[in-house]
Protein backbone atom coordinates (compact mmCIF):
# COMPACT_ATOMS: atom_id res chain seq x y z
CA UNK A 1 0.00 0.00 0.00
CA UNK A 2 2.77 2.44 0.93
CA UNK A 3 4.66 1.60 -2.23
CA UNK A 4 1.54 2.29 -4.36
CA UNK A 5 0.87 5.61 -2.61
CA UNK A 6 4.50 6.63 -3.07
CA UNK A 7 4.41 5.68 -6.78
CA UNK A 8 1.21 7.69 -7.32
CA UNK A 9 2.67 10.70 -5.48
CA UNK A 10 5.87 10.49 -7.52
CA UNK A 11 3.91 10.23 -10.78
CA UNK A 12 1.69 13.22 -9.92
CA UNK A 13 4.73 15.27 -8.92
CA UNK A 14 6.38 14.45 -12.22
CA UNK A 15 3.28 15.05 -14.38
CA UNK A 16 2.27 18.28 -12.64
CA UNK A 17 5.79 19.60 -12.29
CA UNK A 18 7.23 18.63 -15.67
CA UNK A 19 6.33 22.01 -17.19
CA UNK A 20 6.88 24.04 -14.04
CA UNK A 21 10.17 25.88 -13.79
CA UNK A 22 9.65 27.93 -10.68
CA UNK A 23 12.56 30.03 -9.46
CA UNK A 24 13.04 32.53 -6.69
CA UNK A 25 13.80 36.07 -7.73
CA UNK A 26 17.42 37.02 -7.14
CA UNK A 27 16.75 39.98 -4.86
CA UNK A 28 20.42 41.01 -4.79
CA UNK A 29 20.52 41.53 -8.56
CA UNK A 30 16.96 42.64 -9.33
CA UNK A 31 15.55 46.15 -9.12
CA UNK A 32 12.49 48.26 -9.77
CA UNK A 33 12.97 51.93 -10.61
CA UNK A 34 10.06 54.36 -10.45
CA UNK A 35 10.22 57.52 -12.55
CA UNK A 36 8.03 60.38 -11.34
CA UNK A 37 7.52 63.26 -13.77
CA UNK A 38 6.43 66.79 -12.94
CA UNK A 39 3.63 68.99 -14.16
CA UNK A 40 2.27 72.49 -13.58
CA UNK A 41 2.99 76.11 -14.54
CA UNK A 42 6.30 76.11 -12.63
CA UNK A 43 7.36 72.56 -13.43
CA UNK A 44 10.58 73.87 -15.00
CA UNK A 45 11.74 74.85 -11.53
CA UNK A 46 11.28 71.42 -9.94
CA UNK A 47 12.94 68.03 -10.19
CA UNK A 48 11.70 64.83 -11.71
CA UNK A 49 12.14 62.04 -9.21
CA UNK A 50 13.74 58.64 -9.45
CA UNK A 51 12.96 56.06 -6.79
CA UNK A 52 14.65 52.70 -6.25
CA UNK A 53 12.41 49.92 -5.02
CA UNK A 54 14.40 46.84 -3.99
CA UNK A 55 12.50 43.59 -4.41
CA UNK A 56 11.98 42.01 -0.99
CA UNK A 57 11.09 38.54 -2.35
CA UNK A 58 9.26 36.83 -5.16
CA UNK A 59 8.94 33.87 -7.48
CA UNK A 60 8.68 33.33 -11.20
CA UNK A 61 7.56 30.30 -13.18
CA UNK A 62 9.17 30.31 -16.61
CA UNK A 63 7.62 27.04 -17.75
CA UNK A 64 4.72 26.55 -20.11
CA UNK A 65 2.47 28.76 -17.92
CA UNK A 66 4.64 31.80 -17.08
CA UNK A 67 3.74 33.56 -13.84
CA UNK A 68 5.38 35.96 -11.42
CA UNK A 69 4.79 37.29 -7.93
CA UNK A 70 6.89 40.17 -6.59
CA UNK A 71 6.89 41.71 -3.11
CA UNK A 72 8.40 45.10 -2.25
CA UNK A 73 8.62 46.56 1.25
CA UNK A 74 7.30 50.12 0.79
CA UNK A 75 9.49 51.34 3.67
CA UNK A 76 12.61 50.42 1.66
CA UNK A 77 11.87 52.70 -1.31
CA UNK A 78 14.63 55.29 -1.72
CA UNK A 79 14.64 58.60 -3.58
CA UNK A 80 17.86 58.77 -5.61
CA UNK A 81 17.39 62.04 -7.53
CA UNK A 82 20.82 62.83 -8.96
CA UNK A 83 20.16 66.56 -9.42
CA UNK A 84 18.72 67.18 -5.95
CA UNK A 85 20.52 68.04 -2.76
CA UNK A 86 20.53 65.60 0.15
CA UNK A 87 18.05 67.86 1.96
CA UNK A 88 15.68 67.87 -1.05
CA UNK A 89 15.91 64.07 -1.40
CA UNK A 90 15.13 63.66 2.32
CA UNK A 91 12.08 65.93 1.96
CA UNK A 92 10.76 63.98 -1.05
CA UNK A 93 11.49 60.69 0.78
CA UNK A 94 9.49 61.80 3.82
CA UNK A 95 6.53 62.87 1.66
CA UNK A 96 6.64 59.67 -0.42
CA UNK A 97 6.62 57.33 2.60
CA UNK A 98 4.21 59.51 4.61
CA UNK A 99 0.45 59.23 5.09
CA UNK A 100 -0.51 61.35 2.06
CA UNK A 101 1.29 59.16 -0.49
CA UNK A 102 2.34 55.56 0.32
CA UNK A 103 1.43 55.57 4.02
CA UNK A 104 4.19 52.97 4.41
CA UNK A 105 3.65 52.52 8.16
CA UNK A 106 0.13 51.19 7.56
CA UNK A 107 0.67 49.68 4.09
CA UNK A 108 4.11 48.14 4.21
CA UNK A 109 3.83 45.70 1.33
CA UNK A 110 3.52 46.35 -2.39
CA UNK A 111 2.68 43.21 -4.38
CA UNK A 112 2.36 42.36 -8.06
CA UNK A 113 0.89 38.95 -8.91
CA UNK A 114 0.38 37.94 -12.52
CA UNK A 115 -2.81 36.26 -13.66
CA UNK A 116 -2.15 35.78 -17.41
CA UNK A 117 0.96 35.73 -19.60
CA UNK A 118 0.49 36.17 -23.34
CA UNK A 119 3.33 35.63 -25.84
CA UNK A 120 4.20 38.88 -27.62
CA UNK A 121 7.06 37.70 -29.82
CA UNK A 122 10.28 35.80 -29.31
CA UNK A 123 11.35 36.08 -25.66
CA UNK A 124 8.59 38.69 -25.08
CA UNK A 125 5.35 38.56 -23.10
CA UNK A 126 2.48 40.72 -22.03
CA UNK A 127 1.82 40.00 -18.35
CA UNK A 128 -1.51 40.91 -16.86
CA UNK A 129 -2.03 40.82 -13.15
CA UNK A 130 -2.91 42.74 -10.03
CA UNK A 131 -0.90 45.37 -8.21
CA UNK A 132 -1.62 45.97 -4.54
CA UNK A 133 -0.41 49.37 -3.37
CA UNK A 134 -1.47 51.35 -0.34
CA UNK A 135 -4.01 48.66 0.54
CA UNK A 136 -5.80 48.82 -2.83
CA UNK A 137 -5.59 46.28 -5.65
CA UNK A 138 -5.87 47.28 -9.30
CA UNK A 139 -5.16 45.51 -12.62
CA UNK A 140 -1.78 46.15 -14.21
CA UNK A 141 -0.30 45.19 -17.58
CA UNK A 142 3.46 44.77 -18.06
CA UNK A 143 5.52 44.30 -21.21
CA UNK A 144 8.37 41.87 -20.49
CA UNK A 145 11.43 40.94 -22.54
CA UNK A 146 13.94 38.19 -21.68
CA UNK A 147 17.49 39.19 -22.63
CA UNK A 148 20.92 38.36 -21.26
CA UNK A 149 19.48 36.36 -18.36
CA UNK A 150 17.16 39.13 -17.16
CA UNK A 151 13.46 39.84 -17.49
CA UNK A 152 13.14 43.54 -18.20
CA UNK A 153 10.36 45.93 -19.09
CA UNK A 154 8.12 48.66 -17.88
CA UNK A 155 4.60 49.58 -16.87
CA UNK A 156 2.61 52.74 -16.19
CA UNK A 157 0.66 53.29 -12.97
CA UNK A 158 -1.63 56.17 -12.04
CA UNK A 159 -1.34 57.29 -8.44
CA UNK A 160 -5.00 58.33 -8.33
CA UNK A 161 -6.03 54.73 -9.12
CA UNK A 162 -4.70 53.86 -5.66
CA UNK A 163 -6.24 56.80 -3.81
CA UNK A 164 -3.08 58.93 -3.92
CA UNK A 165 -3.28 62.61 -4.78
CA UNK A 166 -0.02 63.44 -6.60
CA UNK A 167 2.02 65.53 -4.15
CA UNK A 168 3.33 69.00 -4.84
CA UNK A 169 2.92 72.71 -4.32
CA UNK A 170 0.98 75.36 -6.19
CA UNK A 171 2.27 75.45 -9.76
CA UNK A 172 4.31 72.24 -9.56
CA UNK A 173 3.18 68.70 -8.80
CA UNK A 174 4.20 65.14 -9.43
CA UNK A 175 2.52 63.70 -12.51
CA UNK A 176 -0.30 61.28 -11.84
CA UNK A 177 1.18 58.62 -14.12
CA UNK A 178 4.38 56.96 -12.91
CA UNK A 179 6.68 54.86 -15.08
CA UNK A 180 8.00 51.69 -13.46
CA UNK A 181 11.06 50.09 -15.06
CA UNK A 182 12.19 46.68 -13.88
CA UNK A 183 15.15 44.36 -14.30
CA UNK A 184 14.50 40.99 -12.67
CA UNK A 185 16.94 38.09 -12.45
CA UNK A 186 16.17 34.61 -11.20
CA UNK A 187 18.15 32.26 -8.99
CA UNK A 188 19.33 29.06 -10.70
What is the helix (H) or strand (E) element at residue 93, kind and residue range?
A: helix 86-97
How does residue 139 score in pLDDT terms, banded at 50, 70 and 90?
Answer: very high
How does residue 75 score in pLDDT terms, banded at 50, 70 and 90?
Answer: very high
| Span 120-149, average pLDDT | 94
The strand ranges marked E within 25-102 are 31-39, 49-61, 67-73, 78-79
Cα 162 to the chain's mean position, in Å?
14
| Span 38-43, average pLDDT | 64
Dump the DSSP string for 5-21. Answer: HHHHHHHHHHHHHTT--
How does residue 20 score in pLDDT terms, banded at 50, 70 and 90?
Answer: low
Of residues 168 and 167, more confidence is placed in 167
Give the pLDDT of residue 149: 86
The pTM of this model reads: 0.83
Distance CA(183)–CA(138), nearest Å, equals: 22
How does residue 168 score in pLDDT terms, banded at 50, 70 and 90?
Answer: confident
Give the pLDDT of residue 33: 96
Instruction: Return the SS3 of 163.
Output: coil
Q: What percent of the chain has pLDDT over 90?
A: 68
Give the pLDDT of residue 48: 80
Give the pLDDT of residue 127: 94
Mean of the per-residue pLDDT values of the chain: 85
Instruction: Return the SS3 of 44.
Output: helix
Q: Residue 11 above 90 pLDDT?
A: no
pLDDT tens-digit series, residues 90-134: 999 999 999 999 999 999 999 999 999 999 999 999 999 999 999
Give the pLDDT of residue 130: 98
Distance CA(1)–CA(138), nearest Å, equals: 49
Amino acid sequence: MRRTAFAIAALLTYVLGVNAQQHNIDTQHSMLTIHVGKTGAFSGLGHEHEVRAPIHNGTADVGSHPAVEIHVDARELRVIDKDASEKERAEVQKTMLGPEVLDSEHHQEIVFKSTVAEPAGQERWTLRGNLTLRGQTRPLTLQVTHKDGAYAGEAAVKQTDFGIKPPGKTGIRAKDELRIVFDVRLTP
